[in-house]
Amino acid sequence: MQRIYLDHAATTPVDARVLQKMLPCFTDHFGNAHSLHAFGRRAVAAVDAARDAVASLLGAKPQEIYFTSGGTEADNWALRGAVHANAGRGRHVIISAVEHPAVRAAARLLAQEGFAVSAAPVGADGVLDLAAFAGLLRGDTVLAAVMAVNNETGAVQPLAEISRLCRERGVLLFCDAVQAAGAYVLDVNAPPVDLLSISSHKFYGPKGVGALYVREGVRIAPLVAGGEQERGLRGGTVNVPGIVGMAEALTIARAQLPEAQARMAALCENFVRRALHEIEGAQLNGPRTPCSSLAAGGRLYSLANFTFAGADGPALLALLDRLGVAASGGSACSSGSPEPSLVLRAMGRPDTLARSGVRFSFGRENTEEEAEEVLSRLKRALAQLRAK
């Protein structure tokens, strides 16, 4: 039985070209990037080149890029580091109601530390309610956190309007761009954001490495103490192979974006159209229209989240796995939780449906034949579950 992977929103395989770029960092250039001898100088040169590349691809300056262990660390650092360092400006924080678990957990910690935290609501399509967001802004609001693309539904958020509102009120804006990186052109100046996070394994790079952009002039407190790495703000031995791999993966993703985007969009849109037409009780969670640009709004073109009437989500996922299809219920970071999806609940779905979301996310390597086969196996799985 052919196994088909449609969970690219959770993680992607490492591109062979990325692996080849990384291999010398394990052997020839294995030195500690903070050692002063020749081995260390070769390692730091590789890190510097990667920092330059990532900065260029994000429209940033090299000194504004800080390497992390991934998106979760970058999200925590952005939220907690920036809020603590700028507490003199205010002690109120806004996050959207559909943020990644890392952002929600960091916000809970801030609330426990005495900061005021508000959650901005979204509509039934998962897109931020701009009027409600504007109403939450107040004189002591220090930071707002709104992701670029939701990891469960693919809903693209109206960052241009959010950025304008924050700029008018002098509020720092943090954007979790983990699900957007590699899928769209990112530019930290269009619209302007103050902090932005990415994670390598979402765009065919290695796991365990990410980056945080911090606009020059924005103060941020260290999250990881213990060394002078990353200009004294993030201690720990530098992950040279991972950083080199991430830069290469982002470079490749940008170079082939138009072609990859068109192909994945066609595959996913045909899958969505047929599922809604051919499967009774199928409901798409998130905007109906896929988009090729963050400025356009809509849904991430390679992702579709469904609920199916009369089918329990976890049971359907387990049966799909037995049938050789890898999908997911939403964020991999909350996959162990028995609770309904907080994202779907925020969109107004009742708990019965919020427990039943199934996410299919396409990647570069998927084919039309695979999409057709998944649709066939999905129908078979639903028939089995509904017959019980």
Please give the backbone phi and psi of residue 100, each rounded to the nearest 5 degrees, phi first: -60, 150
Distance CA 380, CA 87 (A): 55
Please give the backbone phi and psi of residue 275, each rounded to the nearest 5 degrees, phi first: -60, -45
Distance CA 234, CA 73 (A): 11
Beta strand pairing call for 141-145 and 358-361: unpaired
User: Please, are residues 164 and 209 in contact by the beta-carbon 8 Å criterion?
Assistant: no
- Under DSSP, the state recorded for 341 is P
User: Please, are residues 246 and 52 in contact by the beta-carbon 8 Å criterion?
Assistant: no
Tokens of residue 371, six digits: 């999409």
Spot the catalytic one: 25, 166, 291, 333.
333
| Helices marked H in the chain | 16-26, 38-58, 71-76, 82-85, 101-112, 130-136, 159-169, 229-232, 240-255, 257-278, 313-322, 342-346, 351-354, 368-387
Contacts of 360 (CB under 8 A, 6+ apart): 6, 7, 268, 271, 303, 304, 305, 306, 327, 374
Distance CA 111, CA 120 (A): 15
Is 333 labeled as catalytic in the residue annotation? yes
Tokens of residue 33, six digits: 């990037």
Q: What is the dihedral of CA 23, 58, 154, 146, to 10 degrees?
A: 120
- Under DSSP, the state recorded for 364 is T
**Residue reference for tokens 């580091």:** 81
Known catalytic residues are: 333
